[in-house]
Amino acid sequence: MRVLGLESSCDETACAVVEITGAAAALAGSPPVVVRADVVATQTAIHARWGGVVPEVAARQHVQNVIPVIAEALAQAGLTLDDLDAVAVTRGPGLIGALLVAVQAGKAIAFARGLPLVGVHHLEGHLLAAYLSTADAAGGAPHRPPPLPHLGLLVSGGHSSLVRVHDFGRYEVLGATQDDAAGEAFDKVGKLLGLGYPAGPMIDQLAAQGNPRAVALPRAMLGQRRGLQMSFSGLKTAAAAHLQRHGLPQGEAAMADLCASFQAAVVEQLVRKTALALDQTGLGAVVLSGGVAANRGLRAGLASLCGERKIEFFVAPPRWCTDNAAMIACAGYYRLRRGERADLTLNAVASLPL
Ligand code: KG4
Ligand code: ZN
């Protein structure tokens, strides 16, 4: 079974093809979802001058990019529209004008080729990205899909949540940020530091050369009373206050130290909340996802927490952590397998509970 995935919820226009092989697809377990093509047209350079995504500009770029991206994905897979079995598209949450582009493209393809269509929740896509594998993995060392149930830590530009993943399609949010998302904090602090947009990858890079204990920054929400709630806006304010007092770091080493100190504060909160969620739920595996899951400090922090507790840890390669369509095709496949079908009334929705 081949599923075409489409994603345009923010500033990435993406198309992918995933393949689930016949016999395996019929099994109740988790057959490998193999990525045959994976194309992402990013608009970050266009939005960088505004320091964030401009919704109308994003929507117009998606209109320009969507057909070329689909054509490129099909070419990469060596397939035509006639070789597809289903279409999965992000229906929300996201920027409404942006979402509409992939939704309409997906509906057009499904209608023209008489294919089943399914609408996917963007965050469900992130949560299931660790189920993706490559053709190499399928042929050689088998990719081990995360077991169910498991604890999901989803950290992106718009969301930071701890989720009990009971099963495909059954998600329970255990705790979430009360204010900024982790990725948003990276981007806002990076903006103050003049690192451009999005600043997460840049901070990650600089932090690798810095001293995480150089600048004392607060660790928020760590009292038991706070449970699994998180907060990142106090940290952002503390970083801003530090800059006001001391000015912009002078020189690369000072910049690296501040980035490392900020990143360590984010990672410590996320790791400690994950540890608390493991205590509370007794779950035996952790799956990290979302754009911030590309962060090396966070990947290492969670890997060592899970190592200490002898718990399995899963995270997708960085390219499937940030926005992409392979994760949407993957989540779409599991929805299709449950018998879910959308019709041509499928619409984009800006806000959508998981
Ligand atoms: O999941 P995503 O691609 O889009 C949303 O659904 O929001 O996440 C984007 C966020 C941005 O805030 C970006 O700065 C952050 O993920 N990000 C990172 C890294 N790569 C992307 N943050 C920290 N370290 C990274 N390596
Ligand atoms: Zn995302």
The string of pLDDT tens digits covering residues 273-329 is 999 999 999 999 999 999 999 999 999 999 999 999 999 999 999 999 999 999 999
> What's the whole-number mean pLDDT along residues 38-66?
94
Nearest CA to ligand 1 atom 22: 200
If you take atom 16 of ligand 1, which residue's CA is the nearest one? 291
Best mutation site among 53, 232, 292, 354 for ligand 1, i.e. most ligand atoms within 8 A of its Cβ? 292
> Residue 146 gets which letter from DSSP?
P
The model's confidence at residue 23, banded by pLDDT at 50, 70 and 90, is low
The Cα–Cα gap between 239 and 247 comes to 11
Say how many Å lie between the CA of residue 65 and the centre of ligand 2: 18
pLDDT score of 188 more than 60: yes
What separation in Å is there between the alpha carbon of 298 and the centre of ligand 1? Answer: 12
Q: What is the pLDDT averaged over residues 6-31?
A: 83
Is the pLDDT assigned to residue 226 strictly greater than 70?
Answer: yes
pTM of the model: 0.96
- Is 201 a pocket residue for ligand 1 (Cβ < 6 Å)? yes
What kind and span of H or E run contains 44? Answer: helix 44-48
Q: Residue with the nearest Cα to atom 20 of ligand 1?
A: 201
Residues listed for the chain: 354
- Reported confidence tier of residue 135, pLDDT bands at 50, 70, 90: confident
More confident position, 196 or 324:
324
Ligand 1 proximity of 322 Cβ (cutoff 6 Å): yes
How remote is the CA of residue 165 from the centroid of ligand 2, in Å? 18
Sheet strand arrangement including 117-121: 117-121, 86-92, 2-7, 12-19, 33-42, 132-133
Counting from 1 in the atom list of ligand 1, the atom nearest the Cα of 126 is: 1
Helix axes 182-192, 252-281, angle to 10 degrees: 170
Residue identified by tokens 């095709």 is 329
Q: Which of 12, 122, 322, 352 to mutate to test the pocket of ligand 1 (most atoms within 8 A of CB)?
A: 322
- Report pLDDT digits (tens) over 76-90: 999 999 999 999 999
pLDDT at 203 over 60: yes
Which-ligand-closest: CA of 203? 1
264, 233 in Cβ contact below 8 A? no
**Average pLDDT for residues 172-197, to the nearest whole number?**
96
Atom of ligand 1 at shortest range from CA of 263: 23
Q: Provide CB contacts within 8 A for 290, sequence distance 6+.
A: 126, 154, 155, 156, 159, 160, 183, 321
46: left (phi over 0), alpha (psi -120 to 50) or beta: alpha
For residue 156, the ligand closest to its alpha carbon is 1
Q: How confident is the model at residue 120 (pLDDT cuts 50, 70, 90)?
A: very high
Which residues are found with C-beta within 5 Å of the ion, ligand 2? 156, 323
CB proximity list for 175: less than 8 A, separation 6 or greater:
161, 162, 227, 228, 229, 230, 273, 277
Q: 51 pLDDT exceeds 80?
A: yes
Share of the chain above pLDDT 90, in %: 89
| DSSP character at residue 140 | S
What is the token pair recorded at 296? 């090396």
Whether the per-residue pLDDT at 253 is higher than 60: the answer is yes
| Res 134: pLDDT | 87
Note whether 289 and 161 are within 8 A (CB): no
Whether residue 118 contacts residue 336, with contact meaning beta carbons closer than 8 Å, is answered with: yes
Q: Check if 145 has its Cβ closer than 6 Å to any atom of ligand 1.
A: no
Mean pLDDT score of the chain, rounded to an integer?
94
299 compared with 30, residue with greater pLDDT? 299
Inter-residue contact 12 to 319 (CB < 8 Å):
no
- Whether the CB of 231 sits within 6 Å of ligand 1: no
**pLDDT exceeds 90 at position 138:** no
Q: For residue 29, what pLDDT is reported? A: 65
State how far the Cα of 9 lies from the Cα of 29, in Å rounded to an integer.
Answer: 30
Separation of 328 CA from ligand 2 center, angstroms?
10
What confidence score (pLDDT) does residue 221 get?
Answer: 76
Find, among 57, 38, 97, 112, the residue nearest to 318 by Cα: 38
Shortest-distance Cα residue to atom 24 of ligand 1 = 295
Residue among 184, 186, 205, 235 to mutate when testing ligand 1 (max atoms within 8 A of CB): 186
Per-residue pLDDT at 141 exceeds 70: no
Calculate how far, in angstroms, residue 247's C-alpha sits from the geometric centre of ligand 2: 33
Q: Which of 47, 156, 193, 235 to mutate to test the pocket of ligand 1 (most atoms within 8 A of CB)?
A: 156
Tell me if 190 CB under 6 Å of ligand 1.
no
Rounded to whole angstroms, how far apart are CA atoms 183 and 186?
5
